[in-house]
Amino acid sequence: MNSFENNPVDLDNLPKWETLSFHGISKKYRVFILTNTVLIWLCALVILAVVVLTSDDDKRMENSIWIATAASWTVLLVLYLVFNLISFRRRGYAVRKHDVLYRAGVFSQYTLVIPIKHIQHIKVKTSVLSRLLGLVSVELFTAGAGKDMQIAGLENQHAMALQQHLSERVAAIEQENPSEDA
């Protein structure tokens, strides 16, 4: 009969992901953030203008209320923009032999670590604006109830190389450890 062992792990000898050099997101992603924010702001102001211009004179609110609403939206969107531009500098990712790491956050920073062996599939996607800027998002979907990861703002060529590398690593791991159901 096998003997059961449950030895303690020396936490000081574990690999330190904090010392990793993370790859930053493309600087073009700032343009993407700025453009999206301005488009949202313009749409909100157009909706506000349509409401004001199409309301009946007797039901129309005072102009000062509409101006205050527009100013409030502007302040909120400027704060949103500043928050996103600060978070841009904190975003980064790293790929190691057995896992992928993504860090982000402004007030509370986090690092998400996904073992490559848990990756079910990889999706590369782009929007109209990001396509114009040559940017791509890479999404990693995990098995089970694990946390998925999205790395947005990568240069197209770099994203394709990352997707190729991770696909090859997933395939290699699957060959090393074939599942019992297959």
Residue 104, both tokens: 């982000």
* Domain CATH for 132: 2.30.29.30
| One domain for residues 45 and 109 | no
Chosen domain end from 72, 87, 102: 87
Whether residue 74 is found in the same domain as residue 120: no
State whether 75 and 107 are in the same domain: no
- Which tokens hold the place of 172? 């290699």
- Residue 48 falls inside a structural domain: yes
- Same domain flag for 104 and 167: yes
**159 within a domain of the structure (yes/no):** yes
Q: At what angle do helices 28-54 and 63-90 cross, to 10 degrees?
A: 170
Amino acid identity, position 11: L
Decide if 23 is inside a domain.
no
Identify whether residues 75 and 104 lie together within a single domain: no
pLDDT for 87 equals 86
pLDDT at 16: 77
Q: What is the pLDDT at residue 134?
A: 93
pLDDT at 106: 86
Q: Which domain holds residue 40?
A: 28-87
Q: Residue 182: what pLDDT?
A: 47
**Structure confidence at residue 57 (pLDDT):** 63
Question: Is 88:25 a contact under the CB 8 Å cutoff?
Answer: yes
140 and 75 within one domain? no
In angstroms, the CA 117 to CA 143 distance is 9
Note the pLDDT of residue 56: 67
pLDDT tens digits for 123-140? 999 999 899 999 999 999
Q: What pLDDT is recorded for position 155? A: 95
Assess whether 75 and 109 both reside in one domain.
Answer: no
pLDDT string in tens for the chain (182-residue length): 678 888 888 888 877 777 788 999 999 998 998 888 888 888 888 887 787 777 766 555 666 777 788 888 889 888 888 888 888 888 999 999 889 999 998 888 899 999 999 999 999 999 998 999 999 999 999 977 678 999 999 999 999 999 999 999 999 988 887 764 44
Give how many domains the chain has, as a whole number.
Answer: 2
Looking at the structure, do residues 138 and 172 belong to the same domain, yes or no? Answer: yes
The tens digit of pLDDT for each residue in 28-55 reads 998 998 888 888 888 888 887 787 777 7
Which residues fall within 8 angstroms of residue 130, CB to CB, at 6 or more apart?
32, 136, 137, 153
